[in-house]
Amino acid sequence: MATFAYGRVSTADQNVDNQRLEIEAAGHQVDFWFADTVSGKTSATQRPQFAAMLAQIRNGETLVVSKLDRLGRDAQDVGATVKLLASRKIAVIVLQLGKQELTSPAGKMMLAMLAAVAEMERDLLVERTHAGLQRAKGEGKVLGRPRKTTHEQRAEIIAKYAAGDSVSALARAYDVSRANILGVVKPAS
């Protein structure tokens, strides 16, 4: 029976070398290696290389990953992925959890607890981010991308649009996109 390994990184400037080294250092002889460069917010089955691995791995073989979050985007996705693999009698080993095999009863319990903690950590991160944004707004900081036009230019654009200038002509004149001009003359409510 073959051993498969899967790694994932979020951006193109990262690589899976450390994950590969961790798996090999743990003593796993990997027959097939799959790796994605995709956001952790993408469910496991929507990741191209993970889907390719699922198509190739046979019932009764083994999948090794370095960390739990490689198996899904949240507790529900990780659980669904492990259930899918367990239904095919594929052993799932997560190095982060020691030698615990996730498809065993004890592994399932540990998986549920760890996935819930990981999801809580992500939720807390989102809360902290929102709190920081609210604080910054309260301090008067302008958030988002800098505007491409000045206040005076926006007033000119509105006046010229009202006088009959087209959106395309205004976009060319101010060297901005049509969407930018539309945002000035027809702001969202």
The structure tokens 């020691």 sit at 98
| Of the options 3.90.1150.10, 3.10.580.10, 3.40.50.1390, 3.40.50.300, the CATH number for the domain spanning 3-119 | 3.40.50.1390
CB atoms within 10 A of CB 179: 10
The Cα–Cα gap between 21 and 25 comes to: 6
The Cα–Cα gap between 45 and 78 comes to: 10
Identify which has the larger pLDDT, 100 or 59: 59
Mean pLDDT of 18-38: 93
Range with lowest mean pLDDT among 55-64, 70-79, 132-141? 70-79
Q: Which residues are catalytic?
A: 10
Which amino acid is located at 15 in the chain?
N
Question: Which residues on neighbouring strands pair with residue 15, listed in sequence order?
Answer: none
- Which sign, positive or negative, has the C-alpha torsion 44, 47, 48, 50? negative
